[in-house]
């Protein structure tokens, strides 16, 4: 594959930065990151990458001038926009949905218009949450034809953004693909999220916090596997198609919290139940067979416990990275008793 330039939105966040690291390690591609550097984004997430191949532009995906200027630098035959930027946390969307509409809906619209105007290949990163939730004993998993049924302001705005992409493909011929991935874990995930919150709580001597009974199931995938899947879709995916990304990693929250406690040398019952999340989705589960069978993708991180162990080590060794956000993150949760 000839060297190309990828405009990666949200490339200073958790999964976007993982993708930028993945691209620089596995291809000769150049990357322009467009990131607003909100509370969830950080320049530090891109340190150590080759400066001649990775450029960070601080800006808003909903700003048409900035987006248009960057899109004009791309070559329509070779280059692409890979769109990760979003407001990403369900709990925040329950407190204040407004930035979710601005970034996830208007931001995606702004990027799609630029892709249309400059005839650019576009890949949209989305979530399994657009499909709503499953019963614990449902034998079916989510597939690309599962009807949309989002529950939270976050997932509703992601669903809206997916539908915009589909409309821009059909109405305007934008060359886009969509991927809907399950819950990611790994280094550099913001400590507001479940796994890093509990790891950093334990480092700080705070008891982990489990919402409700903890029977909710998430289908965990390592962020590196998400990145390899996105690169596969970018290279081999069929325009207009939706690919589900998952690695058969279903676990309930109780199991995960107990595993973290055990791996950190604590008693497995040493956690607190706290009030449940409003509208809390019960179970997500991904059928990734289209991606595996049609595009030949396979995940590399089969062992969740080992991946979790490595993630715990990363947070232990990189306290400087998360320390500054810890007090404010916990103060926000304290307001809802969570």
Residue 311 interacting with ligand NAD (CB under 6 A): no
Within 264-303, residue ranges assigned H as helices are: 289, 295
Rama region for 79: left / alpha / beta (φ>0; ψ in -120 to 50; rest): beta
Residue 242 interacting with ligand NAD (CB under 6 A): no
In this chain, which stretch among 6-14, 168-176, 266-274, 275-283 interacts with ligand NAD, using CB under 6 A?
6-14
Residue 286 interacting with ligand NAD (CB under 6 A): no
Nearest to 210 by CA among 176, 260, 247: 260
Instruction: CB nearer to ligand NAD: give 265 or 310.
Output: 310
Residues facing 62 on adjacent strands: none
Kindly report the number of other CB atoms within 10 A of residue 92's CB atom.
18
Q: How far from chain centre, in Å, is Cα 7?
A: 17
Contact 86, 34 (CB under 8 A): no
Binding site for ligand TDX (CB under 6 A): 88-90, 127, 129, 183, 193-194, 197, 209-211, 216, 218, 253, 277
Distance, CA of 44 to CA of 243 (rounded, Å): 30
Residue 153 interacting with ligand NAD (CB under 6 A): no
Instruction: CB nearer to ligand NAD: give 79 or 225.
Output: 225
Which is catalytic among the residues 154, 243, 284, 315? 154
Residue 246 interacting with ligand NAD (CB under 6 A): no
Instruction: CB nearer to ligand NAD: give 78 or 105.
Output: 105
5, 134, 190, 192, 226 from 185: Cα distances, Å: 27, 21, 10, 13, 10
How many residues bind ligand NAD (CB under 6 A)? The answer is 31
Contacts with ligand NAD by CB under 6 A lie at: 9-10, 12-16, 34-38, 40-41, 60-62, 84-88, 103, 107, 125, 127, 158, 181, 183-184, 190
Active site residue ranges: 128-129, 154
């Amino acid at each position: 594959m000839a060297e190309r330039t990828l405009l990666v939105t949200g490339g200073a966040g958790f999964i976007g930065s993982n993708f930028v690291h993945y691209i620089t390690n596995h291809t000769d591609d150049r990357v322009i990151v467009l990131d607003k550097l909100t509370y969830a984004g950080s320049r530090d997430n891109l340190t150590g990458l080759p400066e001649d191949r990775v450029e960070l532009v601080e800006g808003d995906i909903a700003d048409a001038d900035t987006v248009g200027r960057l899109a004009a630098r791309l070559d329509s035959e070779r280059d692409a926009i890979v769109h990760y930027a979003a407001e990403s946390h369900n709990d925040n969307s329950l407190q204040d949905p407004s930035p979710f509409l601005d970034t996830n809906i208007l931001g995606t619209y702004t990027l799609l218009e630029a892709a249309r105007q400059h005839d650019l290949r576009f890949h949209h990163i989305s979530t399994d949450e657009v499909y709503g939730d499953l019963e614990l004993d449902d034998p079916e998993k989510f597939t690309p034809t599962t009807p949309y049924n989002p529950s939270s302001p976050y997932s509703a705005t992601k669903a809206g953004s997916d539908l915009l992409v589909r409309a821009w493909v059909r109405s305007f011929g934008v060359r886009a693909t969509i991927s809907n991935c399950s819950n990611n874990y790994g280094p550099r995930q913001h400590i507001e999220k479940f796994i890093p919150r509990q790891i950093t709580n334990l480092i700080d001597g705070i008891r982990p916090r489990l919402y409700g009974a903890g029977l909710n199931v998430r289908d965990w995938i390592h962020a590196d596997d998400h990145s390899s899947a996105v690169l596969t879709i970018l290279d081999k995916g069929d325009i207009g198609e939706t690919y589900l990304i998952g690695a058969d990693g279903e676990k309930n929250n109780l199991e995960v919290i107990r595993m973290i406690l055990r791996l950190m040398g604590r008693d497995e019952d040493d956690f607190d139940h706290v009030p449940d999340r409003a509208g809390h989705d019960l179970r997500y589960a991904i059928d990734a067979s289209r991606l595996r069978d049609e595009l030949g993708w396979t995940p590399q991180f089969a062992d969740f416990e080992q991946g979790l162990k490595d993630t715990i080590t990363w947070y232990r060794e990189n306290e400087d990275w998360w320390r500054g956000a810890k007090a404010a993150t916990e103060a926000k949760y304290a307001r809802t008793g969570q």
